Amino acid sequence: MFKNVTLFAALMFLALAACTSKKEAEEAAKKSPTPSEAATPQPEVHGTEVKSLELTNPLNKDWVTTGKKIYETKCLACHKLTNEKLVGPGWAGVTKKRTPVWIMNMTTNLEMMLEKDAEAQKLLEECLVRMPNQNVSQEDARKILEFMRSNDGEK
């Protein structure tokens, strides 16, 4: 009987010891960098937040032309000009649905938008893909916006 109790105690001790060392191993594993931490993302080039914007009428034809060119090189792969979704939403009607400031920030400042803008967050959930930072300057973003307006039938 006594023997059994000792055995039992010994087993308990072993079990506890095993448990502790397992826990320690887990702690150690937690401390070593995970792959996602190891690959620290490069800092994004942030545009400064666009706070207000005056649209002009009629459209600036030069901007529409330049905006279209930028669209073709940097946006066309993911955005159609219809309302059909490709990787991102189609652009038809985007200037009616969104404010110019919102569009500008979406183009130049996606990081910030995804942090605090509910609509942007919703889009990300719908599309499942995050729009990559295209390093578009504010001037270029303004020209793309002019092209979007033209795509939405403004003259």
Let me know how long the chain is.
Answer: 155
User: Closer CB to ligand HEC, residue 9 or residue 129?
Assistant: 129
Which residue, among 89, 92, 71, 83, has the nearest Cα to 134 in the 3D structure?
A: 71
Classify the phi-psi angles of 8: left when phi > 0, otherwise alpha if psi is within -120 to 50, otherwise beta: alpha
| Smallest separation, CB 17 to ligand HEC (Å) | 50
Total of residues contacting ligand HEC (CB under 6 A): 24
Residues 6+ away with beta carbon under 8 Å from 66: 140, 143
Which one among 69, 134, 138, 154 touches ligand HEC, defined by CB under 6 A? 134
| Smallest separation, CB 19 to ligand HEC (Å) | 45
Interface stretch with ligand HEC, choices 18-26, 37-45, 49-57, 117-125 (CB under 6 A): 117-125
Give the span between the Cα atoms of 13 and 27, in whole angstroms. 21
Residues that bind ligand HEC (CB under 6 A): 74-75, 77-79, 87-89, 94, 98, 103, 106-107, 120, 123-124, 127, 129-132, 134, 136, 144
